[in-house]
Amino acid sequence: MDSQTPVTMDEYARIILDHVAAGEALFDARDLRLLAANKLFYRFFEMHHVPSWDAETVIGHPLTEWLPAANPADAAALIVIFRSVAETGIPYQTEEYVAPVLNRGQMYWNWSLHPVRNEHGQIVQLIFHGSDVTAYVLARRQHARLHAAVEDERARFRAILDQLPEGILLVEATDGNISYANASAATILGIPVQDLVGVSFHQHARSHSSNDVHDRIALPWNFVVINALLGKTASSQETVVVKPDGNTLIMLSSSAPLHNEEGSVTGAVIVFQDITAQKMIERQKNAFLSLASHELRTPITAIMGFAEILQLIDAQEEGLNPISQRAIAQIVAQSDQLTRLIKEMLDLTRLENAELSLDYTLHDLHATLKEVIESQEITAGEHSIRLASKGLIATDKVMGYFDEQRVMQIMNNLISNAIKYSPNGSKIEVGLQCTPENPDEALIWVRDQGIGIPANEVHLIFQRFHRASNLNKSMSGLGLGLYLVKELVTRHEGRVWVESTEGEGSTFYVLLPLKKERHLKRKTYNHK
Ligand code: ADP
């Protein structure tokens, strides 16, 4: 508008009205003539789409004349409303009225019609007031759709989680209440889902404080949850929980914290399974193995004893015939093999029952290796075993604290494997290296020119009972030797690994700490 032109009050009023964020109109109450309206009011009827009527021309004309063209569907009903307000003076108000929009879906309006009275109380005009709430209605619908989709998804997840054999709980950080439990959680804990959810986790995690009801140290169950609420992730922890009936369960529990967008812990998720039965079977198996290996040792010791007597007789003048000599040699060799297998079984059960302790004393590792090699040479057949000491002369001592019997066992296992898994006549090197830079540790290796280990199995061979796929049937064994080697080396706080090429040979390395006495005293004390 030109600032020079004089502006009337009416024009000011129009400017203001046209900028109000609502549709406003004034009607004559007697004949429903439109007296004044702002732009948004015309939007209400989409007047620009109405042929022959538009914003300018409807002014001064009764609603009854132009409304049927603007809103053919609702015209009659709207006229009734206008007339009723004009006659009764009762205001009319409606929400989310669907106003027609040509070819563009729908618009939603909240609108009202109020009577205006003169000084005599007569209704002279009607005021229309309406606001476009389309954006709000669409957003609300969208929100409802999303909400329904989320609920759908949640129901699906719950259905899936309810099928899992593992128990799952969600615990809220604010109050320690369980906010979700799946069906297996309820079954395992022996508490119905409805009694679990909404109740403090601590109430259900009544834990005993004693070491263990099942002879093994296991953590109280709430430990994993508290840890998770403190932001720590734990996987496969053995924990114990007391059921409402007083029975205890051994659980394998994993837990992790749940974070919000800002990174603070809002809760914890706990996944667990009941391993009580599994633990019982394991205990029985260990008890059986331990008993069986003890029982087997007695007869085998007797067989060996009698074989030795026969060997003594053979050594005397009369001697035994060659067939008997070969038979005795076989008895001795097979009994040795059997003794080794029984010993492996016994060591395994001791390890699993945490009964195996180390006896650290001061020894010369160089001498220990020489002794092992000497004893192995007897059974090495056509193999040649050579001691290669790097940076050492034959008389050098490599002193350190270690369990000599166990180090001998480690070396015996590695050397007898080298013999077993390499062809007759091939060379086996036992190495020892102790550098001045690292006087507190020694590197030992056993190198053979044998069948090697398939590359994809190298990482498996230290596992219990794993035997590689390139063995032939005559190579007997339980697959326990390397597992024991690894356990024994680890208990010495050392490291064992292998480098191998299938068809060419293998080198097993052992890095053994040569401990200092001061450090050891505590260790020995711990073990006893
Ligand atoms: P066992 O010799 O009784 O089978 P071990 O635990 O000592 O059990 O060894 C596990 C497996 O590792 C063996 O079965 C064999 O496949 C492989 N292995 C061990 N030592 C050697 C070696 N020196 N050369 C090739 N393979 C070996």
Distances (CA, A) of 287 to 119, 284, 357, 488, 510: 106, 5, 18, 21, 31
**Distance separating alpha carbons of residues 221 and 239, to the nearest angstrom:** 5
Residue 456 is classified by DSSP as G
Q: Helix (H) and strand (E) counts for the chain? A: 16, 18
**Distance separating alpha carbons of residues 429 and 421, to the nearest angstrom:** 14
User: 147 in helix, strand or coil?
Assistant: helix
Percent of the chain with pLDDT over 90: 48
User: 203 in helix, strand or coil?
Assistant: helix
**Ligand 1 pocket member 415 (CB < 6 A):** no
Question: At residue 525, does pLDDT exceed 60?
Answer: no
Q: How far, in Å, is the centroid of ligand 1 from the Cα of 468?
A: 7
Q: pLDDT by residue (tens digit) across 1-59?
A: 455 566 788 888 788 888 888 999 999 999 999 999 988 888 887 776 676 676 668 88
Helix (H) or strand (E) holding 252: strand 248-259
Distances (CA, A) of 41 to 21, 84, 148, 214, 411: 10, 21, 35, 81, 98
Question: At residue 211, does pLDDT exceed 70?
Answer: no
Rounded to 5, what percent of the chain is helix, strand, coil? Answer: 45, 25, 30
Q: pLDDT by residue (tens digit) across 231-248?
A: 888 888 888 887 777 778
Query: Ligand 1, from 343, 383, 411, 482: best to mutate by most atoms within 8 Å of Cβ?
Result: 482
| Distant-in-sequence, close-in-space partners of 241: CB < 8 Å, separation ≥ 6 | 189, 205, 206, 207, 220, 221, 248, 249, 251
The confidence score (pLDDT) of residue 382 equals 84
Q: pLDDT by residue (tens digit) across 57-104?
A: 888 999 999 888 888 788 899 999 999 999 999 999 999 998 877 666
pTM above the 0.85 mark? no
Q: How far, in Å, is the centroid of ligand 1 from the Cα of 418?
A: 8
The minimum-distance atom of ligand 1 relative to the CA of 344 is 3
Question: At residue 394, does pLDDT exceed 90?
Answer: no
For range 373-387, the mean pLDDT: 86
Which ranges in 114-133 belong to alpha helices (H)? none
The confidence score (pLDDT) of residue 48 equals 67
**Ligand 1 pocket member 45 (CB < 6 A):** no
**Ligand 1 pocket member 454 (CB < 6 A):** no
Residue/partner pairs of 467-470 with CB below 8 Å, 24 or more apart: 470/502
Tell how far CA 24 is from the center of its chain.
62
**Ligand 1 pocket member 471 (CB < 6 A):** yes
Q: How far, in Å, is the centroid of ligand 1 from the Cα of 505?
A: 12
Determine the longest span between alpha carbons in the chain, in angstroms.
152
**Ligand 1 pocket member 418 (CB < 6 A):** yes
Neighbours of 453 (CB within 10 A): 23
525, burial (CB in 10 Å: exposed 0-12, middle 13-18, buried 19+): exposed
Q: pLDDT by residue (tens digit) across 272-315?
A: 999 999 888 888 888 888 888 888 888 899 999 999 888 888 88
The confidence score (pLDDT) of residue 103 equals 64
**Distance separating alpha carbons of residues 504 and 276, to the nearest angstrom:** 46
| Distant-in-sequence, close-in-space partners of 199: CB < 8 Å, separation ≥ 6 | 177, 178
How is residue 203 written in tokens? 């109430």
Q: How far, in Å, is the centroid of ligand 1 from the Cα of 498?
A: 11
In this structure, are residues 274 and 309 in contact, taking their beta carbons and an 8 Å threshold? Answer: no
Q: pLDDT by residue (tens digit) across 124-168?
A: 999 999 999 999 999 999 999 999 999 999 999 989 999 999 999
The confidence score (pLDDT) of residue 94 equals 94
What does the mean pLDDT of the chain come to? 86
Burial 119-132 (b: 16+ CB within 10 A, else e): eeeebebbbbbbbb
Range list of β-strands (E), 56-136 = 92-100, 106-117, 123-132
The confidence score (pLDDT) of residue 220 equals 67
The minimum-distance atom of ligand 1 relative to the CA of 483 is 6
**53: nearest Cα among 65, 40, 43:** 65
**Ligand 1 pocket member 452 (CB < 6 A):** yes
pLDDT bin (cut points 50, 70, 90) of residue 225 is confident
**Ligand 1 pocket member 479 (CB < 6 A):** yes
